[in-house]
Structure 1
Amino acid sequence: MLRTLKYGLSEVCPGKDWAISAALVSDPCIRELNRRFLGKDVETDVLAFPGGEQDGANPFLGEIVVSFETARAQAQRYRHSPEKEVALLLLHGLLHLLGYRDDTFAGAGKMHARELELLRGLGL
């Protein structure tokens, strides 16, 4: 996880030092977070919560939460390793924290292309 986030940050924001929190959780846990903070009572694969303070030596960019159960199921569906799926979800969350949006066709395409580029850079 650390390698993925470190690489992603160095590629997308070279020269910046950010603090990030990342967690692997169960489906029930991510569902509760989704319900509590986003008002959606459903499981999801990844959530990204932007940080507040952006000043200082190591500004807090935010928190990324990945469901390991959903990641494992998606890895089976897409026929790749769970490690690759977790890396993809971490990168997806990271890009959201950096301002990428996937709520339009164009935004989703741009975000997906960047995710694939970063995965290739990680050798996944």
Structure 2
Amino acid sequence: MISFNYEIEFKLQDEAKHEEWISEVIDSEDKSEGEVNYIFCDDEYLHKMNVEFLDHDTLTDVISFDYTMGSIISGDIFISVERVRDNAADFKVDFDDELRRVMAHGILHYCGYKDKTEEDSQLMRSKEDEKISLFHVEQ
């Protein structure tokens, strides 16, 4: 089950299409869908979590808490819409594409992909691009 929660004045356009897409992302990695909660928030909310839970005093676009058991993907993915908007402007990409990149990023972590080394980051970016392209395919 995929759910979307909002801590700010923001709402995904077409939640059903995003839900189908995330399910497809999970399925494309030969995993099963458990309970995945997306929580959309602002920089202040996510910064507080980053300090409290990860001891990182920095801004970030996404923090994920992984509850995956075996191949059943589950977790809470917190996304700063404010940071995503700024990153989209910095990278000169569409906000919706950058948002989907971050949404896929959390799921890919649950599937076992890492991003701490340059090699891992390149694979993660490639996987993000692959998963974003799934969204544009008509269901």
- Shorter-chain TM-score category? 0.7 to 0.9
TM-score for the superposition, normalised by structure 2:
0.77
Hey, what does 1:35 align to over in structure 2? 51
Hey, what does 1:66 align to over in structure 2? 79
Deviation at 1:17, TM superposition (A): 2.7
Match of 1:62, SS state, is strand
Q: Which of 108, 114, 117 lines up with 1:104 in the alignment?
A: 117
Where structure 1 has 5 or more consecutive residues not aligned to the other structure, the ranges are none
Question: How many residues were matched structurally?
Answer: 119
Which has the larger strand fraction?
Answer: 2
Match of 1:23, SS state, is strand
Where structure 2 has 5 or more consecutive residues not aligned to the other structure, the ranges are 1-17
The residue identity in structure 2 corresponding to 1:122 is F
Distance (Å, rounded) in 1 between the aligned partners of 2:60 and 2:133: 24
Superposition RMSD in Å: 1.9
Distance (Å, rounded) in 1 between the aligned partners of 2:134 and 2:33: 20
TM-score for the superposition, normalised by structure 1:
0.85
Distance (Å, rounded) in 1 between the aligned partners of 2:55 and 2:21: 29
Deviation at 1:80, TM superposition (A): 2.4
Hey, what does 2:4 align to over in structure 1? none
If asked which structure has higher relative contact order (CA below 8 Å, sep 6+), I would say 1
Note the 1:1-124 alignment, pairs <5 A. 1-14=18-31, 16-51=32-67, 54=69, 61-123=74-136
Match of 2:116, SS state, is coil
Q: Does the 8 Å CA contact 1:4/1:90 hold for their aligned counterparts?
A: no
